[in-house]
Chain A
């Protein structure tokens, strides 16, 4: 190990009492006023798990409704009928599912959770650059989530409570005084504002940390790929979130202060909202997946016991995905009519993204090639990720063609595509990272059996949910309806069965956590305490004890020439 001082930081933790002034976990001040990147990361992860369960339960309602033609749940008569009276409520749940999963599950888990925990550890920094700002970044999120949930239960408009216009919030539906005149949409706008401020503050924190607080010798080109992925991600957030903030501010003024930004009757243009939204929205989907790329690179390298194949190519593939991600947004808008040349440009630019993405997938496979592969739980999730993400990427190339997209726009084919990349890709990356770093974060061992069972149930379940949706989309089943003609019944039922399998997988996940933290609490033994995954794990966090000392690297590690990932 070339990192001399930190190699015994674990032992130091015992000698230096001050390095481990870990306040009691039962003291609320430790969490409310926390400035410690590991505590804040833990809070982000717990928040993401809770939001994921809420968002996942919502998708259960959707699949329940869609299991058969007709209205099962959202019909005003079912058990849940008191709350979910009509199809509008289906759309409300569907919109909230999307927003919660994006803003309150995947982003907090990948960026706030793993980013906070491991970016400082991996670059040899004592903490984040602005620890107090880190605290406010986290605590804005529960506020934002509360506003989003509140938005679901206050009057939305003529159709009932809540906002039912989808996560894209398109005008004129979201500005219509008849359909969404109630306070629901305003609360949702406020919620996204608050979540956006949280993300922007977090992004500034990461950028300053990564650019200024790397340990001696940790040059940019020696940073672990996970740190690279976070760096690219937070730049995307910094450039795109203000545009979303501006766009939804205009929605707010259109709704409440008589402006006409998106109102054709007043000389505005609703298509402009789509441009602004997708200028944010497309980089946002890379925000959701890039940290996952970083995690998968670390895991594949660790469990193949080889350095990542083509390190620099991997880093700059992420940079180029980030850059190109800003100039392809209108491929979400082919059906708005934009002229052949413009469409041709957006088709070509979109397809070009397949090149750096292909480099990444190739390099992961090349890393495994000839490696000493150890199929531990994180590696299962990582390989599952590569499989599912590649499938989602292939359908993405199909949808990039404007001619095909004109047919498939707003069908279940699109739903299947983005769930393969996001719901399966990003979520599998979250679980991969979780199982990879959980022993490091907790100092405890988890049950490999339960972790593996969780993986196989989820893998079979999500494929059963989403693969049939390709067929439904190709047959022309549109998104965002609570009901459908009987011809679509067969694959919808299979899709809903898949949800049940996935839900059992989530229960196994909770059982795994219960077993690990409450029932057995098996500590890592001394030999494997610092690095339970063996010699393949070469990044700096594995040189520290598990769990790491409350404050680390008060003596900075020095990174030598040959070590870079």
Chain B
């Protein structure tokens, strides 16, 4: 049989193995915390067209206009009718806009709905600021109820400073309304 390893070598082997286990645990921890990390990353960078939240309108308004188009949809078999009340709005960059969406509960039960949303092109997400939005909270719609849902937003004038976004003339704001589980 092989000679037993010296205590010094055994310590070294234990150290190497411990480092390996540490690496595995660290990577596993990172992966399992991917959801908050990913959400934070999207929020900070506007990745995937994640929009931003603002508390007040920007000081300056540019002369240049930009068209904001609206899209509203629901997954198949969702008991909601959901559409944008206007196809698009053209407003000056920095100017505050107000858009409405219409939703109707077509079932005979109350429906709790939660919205997911983004803008296209994705690169403009960081400049699309919402002051107020129905999408910030879950909403309950009573059977047969029809509701007008407002969004107050503006396009940050910084958008013209970015090489990738300054040529953008049209931004599409899209909402998907999901029925919350058990609602």
Contact = CB atoms under 8 A, between A and B. Distances in A.
A18 B34 CA distance: 53
Nearest to B35: A261
Nearest to A262: B35
Contacts, number: 112
B48 interface: yes
Contacts of B47: 338-339
B163 to A, nearest CB: 9
Taking each of A269, A336, A340, A551, which has the highest tally of chain B beta carbons within 10 Å of its own beta carbon? A269
Closest 6 CB pairs of A and B: A246-B31, A265-B178, A242-B27, A126-B2, A242-B28, A243-B31
18 contacts: A129-B17, A207-B20, A212-B16, A239-B27, A242-B27, A243-B27, A243-B31, A245-B28, A246-B27, A246-B30, A247-B34, A249-B32, A250-B35, A264-B178, A265-B114, A272-B34, A275-B38, A338-B47
Interface string A218-255: 00000000000000000000111111111101100000
B182 to A, nearest CB: 9
A481 to B, nearest CB: 22
Interface of A: 18, 126-127, 129-130, 200, 203-204, 207-208, 211-213, 238-247, 249-250, 258, 261, 264-269, 271-272, 275-276, 336-341, 551, 553-554
Contact of A239 (B1, B23, B114, B181): B23
A286 B141 CA distance: 52
Given A272-B34, A340-B164, A267 B114 contact: yes
A158 B27 CA distance: 35
Contacts of B105: none
B29 to A, nearest CB: 8
Report, as a range, how many residues of chain B touch the other chain. 35 or more
B62 to A, nearest CB: 23
A242 B35 contact: no
B16 A246 contact: no
Contact of A208 (B20, B32, B49): B20
Given A208-B16, A242-B27, A339-B47, A250 B32 contact: yes
B176 interface: yes
B114 A337 contact: no
B13 interface: yes
A246 B13 contact: no
A553 B179 CA distance: 67
B180 interface: yes
Interface of B: 1-3, 9, 12-13, 16-17, 20-21, 23-25, 27-28, 30-32, 34-35, 38, 42, 47-49, 75, 114, 116, 120-123, 164, 176, 178-181
A268 B2 contact: no
Contacts of A554: 1-3
A58 to B, nearest CB: 30
Taking each of A207, A239, A272, which has the highest tally of chain B beta carbons within 10 Å of its own beta carbon? A272
A246 B23 contact: no
A339 B27 contact: no
A71 B98 CA distance: 54
B181 A203 contact: no
Contacts of A240: 27
B13 A127 contact: no
Contacts of B12: 211-212
A272 B35 contact: yes
Given A246-B28, A337-B48, A269 B178 contact: no
A200 B181 CA distance: 37
B164 to A, nearest CB: 6
Nearest to B164: A340
B34 A246 contact: yes
B180 A265 contact: yes
Nearest to A273: B34
Contacts of A258: 181
Taking each of A127, A240, A243, A554, which has the highest tally of chain B beta carbons within 10 Å of its own beta carbon? A243
Taking each of B3, B34, B42, B47, which has the highest tally of chain A beta carbons within 10 Å of its own beta carbon? B34
Given A204-B17, A212-B16, A247-B31, A264 B116 contact: yes
Nearest to B179: A265
Contacts of A238: 20, 23-24, 27
A376 B21 CA distance: 43
Nearest to A19: B1
A208 B13 contact: yes
B48 A200 contact: no
Nearest to A239: B27
A247 B75 CA distance: 25
A241 B3 CA distance: 34
Contacts of B120: 337
B161 to A, nearest CB: 15
Contacts of A243: 27-28, 30-31
Contacts of B181: 258, 265-266
B178 A211 contact: no
Taking each of B9, B27, B42, B164, which has the highest tally of chain A beta carbons within 10 Å of its own beta carbon? B27
Contacts of A271: 48
Nearest to A243: B31
B35 A212 contact: no
Given A265-B114, A272-B35, A276-B31, A340 B17 contact: no
Given A212-B12, A246-B32, A551-B1, A338 B122 contact: yes
Contacts of A213: 13
Contacts of A339: 47, 121-123, 164
A249 B114 CA distance: 25
Contact of A245 (B31, B34, B38, B176): B31
B106 to A, nearest CB: 18
Nearest to B75: A265
A564 to B, nearest CB: 23
A127 B31 contact: no
Given A212-B12, A265-B181, A242 B164 contact: no
A200 B34 CA distance: 21
A258 B181 CA distance: 9
